[in-house]
Amino acid sequence: MSADTPRRIALLRHAKADWPQVSDHDRPLAERGRRDAPAAGRKLAETGITFDLALCSTAARTRETWKLAVQELPYRPRTVYEERVYDASPGELIALLNETPDEVGDLLVIGHNPGMHALAEILSGRAEGDTQARMNRTGFPTAALAVVSFTGSWKSLEPGVGTLLDYWTPKEH
Protein backbone atom coordinates (compact mmCIF):
# COMPACT_ATOMS: atom_id res chain seq x y z
CA MET A 1 0.00 0.00 0.00
CA SER A 2 1.27 3.45 -0.81
CA ALA A 3 1.53 6.41 1.55
CA ASP A 4 -1.52 8.06 -0.03
CA THR A 5 -3.77 5.06 0.63
CA PRO A 6 -6.97 5.86 2.53
CA ARG A 7 -7.06 3.94 5.82
CA ARG A 8 -9.71 3.41 8.45
CA ILE A 9 -9.42 2.91 12.18
CA ALA A 10 -12.36 1.57 14.15
CA LEU A 11 -12.21 2.33 17.86
CA LEU A 12 -14.39 -0.01 19.93
CA ARG A 13 -14.77 0.49 23.65
CA HIS A 14 -15.28 -2.76 25.57
CA ALA A 15 -18.85 -3.66 26.48
CA LYS A 16 -20.30 -3.14 29.98
CA ALA A 17 -18.12 -4.82 32.62
CA ASP A 18 -19.05 -6.29 35.98
CA TRP A 19 -17.42 -5.26 39.28
CA PRO A 20 -16.53 -8.51 41.10
CA GLN A 21 -13.75 -8.61 43.68
CA VAL A 22 -10.95 -9.01 41.14
CA SER A 23 -8.27 -6.69 39.78
CA ASP A 24 -9.42 -4.11 37.23
CA HIS A 25 -7.54 -6.00 34.51
CA ASP A 26 -9.48 -9.20 35.28
CA ARG A 27 -13.02 -7.74 35.33
CA PRO A 28 -15.41 -9.79 33.12
CA LEU A 29 -18.37 -8.52 31.14
CA ALA A 30 -21.70 -7.95 32.85
CA GLU A 31 -24.88 -9.48 31.42
CA ARG A 32 -25.62 -6.26 29.48
CA GLY A 33 -22.08 -6.36 28.08
CA ARG A 34 -22.61 -9.89 26.82
CA ARG A 35 -25.73 -8.62 24.98
CA ASP A 36 -24.11 -5.43 23.61
CA ALA A 37 -20.85 -6.98 22.33
CA PRO A 38 -22.51 -9.02 19.53
CA ALA A 39 -24.53 -5.90 18.56
CA ALA A 40 -21.25 -3.99 18.23
CA GLY A 41 -19.95 -6.86 16.07
CA ARG A 42 -23.01 -6.58 13.83
CA LYS A 43 -22.39 -2.83 13.49
CA LEU A 44 -18.75 -3.53 12.58
CA ALA A 45 -19.98 -5.97 9.91
CA GLU A 46 -22.46 -3.36 8.59
CA THR A 47 -19.61 -0.91 7.96
CA GLY A 48 -18.39 -3.24 5.21
CA ILE A 49 -14.80 -2.74 6.37
CA THR A 50 -12.57 -5.79 6.10
CA PHE A 51 -10.10 -5.24 8.90
CA ASP A 52 -6.53 -6.36 8.29
CA LEU A 53 -5.64 -6.26 11.97
CA ALA A 54 -7.35 -6.05 15.36
CA LEU A 55 -5.41 -4.73 18.36
CA CYS A 56 -7.14 -5.81 21.54
CA SER A 57 -6.26 -4.84 25.10
CA THR A 58 -5.23 -7.79 27.26
CA ALA A 59 -7.91 -6.98 29.89
CA ALA A 60 -10.55 -9.68 30.37
CA ARG A 61 -13.46 -7.39 29.41
CA THR A 62 -11.88 -6.36 26.10
CA ARG A 63 -10.93 -9.93 25.19
CA GLU A 64 -14.48 -11.09 26.01
CA THR A 65 -16.01 -8.19 24.01
CA TRP A 66 -13.86 -9.11 21.00
CA LYS A 67 -14.65 -12.83 21.31
CA LEU A 68 -18.39 -12.04 21.11
CA ALA A 69 -18.14 -9.27 18.49
CA VAL A 70 -15.86 -11.08 16.03
CA GLN A 71 -18.39 -13.90 15.64
CA GLU A 72 -20.63 -11.38 13.82
CA LEU A 73 -17.98 -10.49 11.21
CA PRO A 74 -17.84 -12.22 7.83
CA TYR A 75 -14.05 -12.31 8.07
CA ARG A 76 -11.88 -12.64 11.17
CA PRO A 77 -8.88 -10.29 11.08
CA ARG A 78 -5.51 -11.19 12.51
CA THR A 79 -5.74 -10.33 16.20
CA VAL A 80 -2.93 -9.12 18.43
CA TYR A 81 -3.56 -8.93 22.17
CA GLU A 82 -1.58 -5.83 23.07
CA GLU A 83 -0.99 -4.99 26.73
CA ARG A 84 -0.09 -1.39 25.80
CA VAL A 85 -3.74 -0.73 24.83
CA TYR A 86 -4.81 -1.28 28.46
CA ASP A 87 -5.11 2.07 30.29
CA ALA A 88 -3.32 3.89 27.43
CA SER A 89 -3.46 7.64 26.93
CA PRO A 90 -4.32 9.00 23.47
CA GLY A 91 -0.65 9.82 22.92
CA GLU A 92 0.38 6.28 23.83
CA LEU A 93 -2.28 4.90 21.49
CA ILE A 94 -1.10 7.10 18.61
CA ALA A 95 2.50 5.96 19.24
CA LEU A 96 1.29 2.34 19.13
CA LEU A 97 -0.66 2.94 15.90
CA ASN A 98 2.43 4.60 14.38
CA GLU A 99 4.11 1.16 14.65
CA THR A 100 1.49 -0.48 12.41
CA PRO A 101 3.02 -1.95 9.24
CA ASP A 102 1.98 -0.08 6.10
CA GLU A 103 0.53 -3.22 4.50
CA VAL A 104 -2.29 -2.91 7.06
CA GLY A 105 -5.07 -0.88 5.46
CA ASP A 106 -7.89 -0.98 8.00
CA LEU A 107 -7.39 -1.48 11.73
CA LEU A 108 -9.66 -2.16 14.68
CA VAL A 109 -8.69 -1.26 18.26
CA ILE A 110 -10.64 -2.76 21.17
CA GLY A 111 -9.83 -0.74 24.26
CA HIS A 112 -10.94 1.42 27.15
CA ASN A 113 -12.10 4.88 28.06
CA PRO A 114 -11.04 7.58 28.40
CA GLY A 115 -8.50 6.57 25.71
CA MET A 116 -10.93 5.45 22.96
CA HIS A 117 -13.10 8.59 23.19
CA ALA A 118 -10.14 10.94 23.44
CA LEU A 119 -8.36 9.25 20.52
CA ALA A 120 -11.47 9.53 18.31
CA GLU A 121 -11.74 13.24 19.16
CA ILE A 122 -8.02 13.98 18.77
CA LEU A 123 -7.62 12.21 15.42
CA SER A 124 -10.76 13.73 13.90
CA GLY A 125 -10.02 17.13 12.40
CA ARG A 126 -13.26 16.74 10.45
CA ALA A 127 -16.52 14.82 10.83
CA GLU A 128 -19.24 13.61 8.48
CA GLY A 129 -22.82 14.62 9.25
CA ASP A 130 -23.73 14.75 12.93
CA THR A 131 -21.19 12.13 14.03
CA GLN A 132 -19.15 14.55 16.16
CA ALA A 133 -22.23 16.04 17.84
CA ARG A 134 -23.61 12.58 18.66
CA MET A 135 -20.26 11.44 20.06
CA ASN A 136 -19.98 14.56 22.21
CA ARG A 137 -23.57 14.17 23.42
CA THR A 138 -23.27 10.52 24.46
CA GLY A 139 -19.68 10.56 25.74
CA PHE A 140 -18.55 7.19 24.30
CA PRO A 141 -20.38 4.68 26.53
CA THR A 142 -19.49 1.01 26.77
CA ALA A 143 -19.57 -0.85 23.42
CA ALA A 144 -19.47 2.48 21.53
CA LEU A 145 -17.75 2.47 18.14
CA ALA A 146 -16.11 5.29 16.20
CA VAL A 147 -14.67 4.94 12.69
CA VAL A 148 -12.00 7.43 11.62
CA SER A 149 -10.42 7.63 8.16
CA PHE A 150 -7.13 9.22 7.18
CA THR A 151 -4.81 9.19 4.21
CA GLY A 152 -1.13 8.42 4.61
CA SER A 153 1.18 5.96 6.28
CA TRP A 154 0.62 4.78 9.84
CA LYS A 155 3.79 6.64 10.80
CA SER A 156 2.08 9.87 9.66
CA LEU A 157 -0.95 9.38 11.92
CA GLU A 158 -1.21 12.39 14.21
CA PRO A 159 -3.86 14.62 15.81
CA GLY A 160 -6.32 16.21 13.41
CA VAL A 161 -5.46 14.21 10.26
CA GLY A 162 -8.62 12.11 10.26
CA THR A 163 -12.30 12.35 9.48
CA LEU A 164 -14.87 10.87 11.86
CA LEU A 165 -16.95 8.75 9.46
CA ASP A 166 -19.27 6.93 11.82
CA TYR A 167 -20.24 6.79 15.47
CA TRP A 168 -22.50 4.20 17.05
CA THR A 169 -23.70 3.17 20.50
CA PRO A 170 -25.88 0.21 21.50
CA LYS A 171 -28.50 2.52 23.07
CA GLU A 172 -28.94 4.49 19.84
CA HIS A 173 -29.93 1.34 17.97
Per-residue model confidence as pLDDT tens digits over 12-39 = 999 999 999 999 999 999 999 999 999 9
- Identify each DSSP E strand in the chain by its residue range: 6-13, 53-56, 78-81, 106-111, 124-127, 145-151, 162-168
Domains of the chain (ranges; CATH) run 12-100+115-145 (3.40.50.1240)
Contacts of 84 (CB under 8 A, 6+ apart): 92, 96
Sign of the Cα pseudo-torsion (113, 26, 15, 41, in order)? positive
- Residues 62-91: what's their mean pLDDT? 97
In a 13 Å sphere around the CA of 112, the CA atoms on its Cβ side amount to: 20
> Which residue type occupies 93?
L
- Do strands 124-127 and 53-56 pair parallel, antiparallel, or not at all (unpaired)? unpaired
Q: How far apart, in whole angstroms, are the C-alpha atoms of residue 59 and residue 44?
A: 21
For residue 54, is it left (φ>0), alpha (ψ between -120 and 50) or beta? beta
pLDDT tens track for 130-158:
999 999 999 999 999 999 999 999 999 99
The answer to whether 91 and 118 have CB atoms below 8 angstroms apart is no
pLDDT tens track for 83-141:
999 999 999 999 999 999 999 999 999 999 999 999 999 999 999 999 999 999 999 99
